[in-house]
Amino acid sequence: MFANSRAVTTNQEGVHPALEATVRRHLAHPWRAPLGDHDREAFARAQAWVGTSRRPLILDSGCGTGRSSMLLARRHPEALVLGLDQSAHRLARAERRFDPPDNLLLVRTDCAGFWRLAEAAGWRPWRHYLLYPNPWPKSAHLKRRWHGHPVFPHLLALGGTLVLRTNWELYAREMAEALAFAGLSASVSELTTDGESLTDFESKYRHSGHRLWALTANAEKTV
């Protein structure tokens, strides 16, 4: 990736004014949208791979080209790592670039559907990474951000430690407020430039001079 990424621009002046109403509505009314066969097949593959293992489980949702999933698997050999992404093209790049360790599986799936199936199956990941999700910065697109999406309660119900990274501070701040509406606390801090970048986007943003933000929350309380 070339280091020429533009900073996120938005027509919002601050936290979205409809954030609280949107989040509380989703918390009160579970999402009933039909699940696709492709998501069921993807989850069945992941479930068969995890099997009856008692090893900690890490989800890397929206893993893109798999760099973050590979690094997490190497950093945590005691855990199983599932990298999830809806793009076959990006996942194919991952398989060409890396020799996946035995504790890593990359799965093509829609994260929203996979999370619902994982929740229904009683999965409780140890850690759940959301690294540089699409910010959907236009005000009209609030419901496309994970904290404004109807799947948000299902994301929280998975529990574990939630780790979000973004180059748009407002995204992290909105996520923290959405978590607070669900009775969960989160910390938001600026990432330093020390250490290896977890994703290709993180590397690109750093080399483009962007400020990067990290949110961490314990989502053990279900909603």
Residue 196, Cβ neighbours under 10 Å: how many? Answer: 9
Summarize pLDDT for 101-113 with one digit per residue, the tens.
Answer: 999 999 999 999 9
Angle among Cα 184, 56, 112 to the nearest 5 degrees reads: 55
Q: Residue 100 — pLDDT band, cuts 50, 70, 90?
A: confident
Give me the pLDDT at residue 1, please: 47
Q: Model pTM?
A: 0.94
Give me the pLDDT at residue 214, please: 96
Q: For domain 35-218, which CATH number applies: 1.10.10.1100, 3.40.50.300, 3.40.50.10380, 3.40.50.150?
A: 3.40.50.150
Sheet-wide strand order for 186-190: 104-108, 80-85, 57-61, 127-131, 161-166, 213-218, 186-190
Pairing relation of β-strands 80-85 and 161-166? Answer: unpaired
Give me the pLDDT at residue 3, please: 60
